[in-house]
Structure 1
């Protein structure tokens, strides 16, 4: 989930496995977010469902 990106140390030189680049990618580079508003809303709804499922 995008909020977990802050837990990765800036000195980390490895790879990070991402299940949902459609959501995580724009969190890394918000100025390059090419999603439409409908796509952003759908991604946010999906994140909400995943967050609720992991409680």
Structure 2
């Protein structure tokens, strides 16, 4: 999913073990509560998985 305007909910450095799984778990927690369109992007320059939600009316 592409989102041009997004709000960062969490950053998980890729240096920690299973960083991708942790980021997906965090995204799932946000999807289950207040941000159903939450997903994970990878920030190559920042070497981190970033949990994001599109800006706007996606809060329940």
TM-score when normalising by structure 1: 0.39
| TM-score, L = length of structure 2 | 0.36
Q: Larger strand proportion, structure 1 or 2? A: 2
Structure with more contact order per residue of length (Cα contacts < 8 Å, sep ≥ 6): 2
Q: Which has the higher helix share?
A: 1
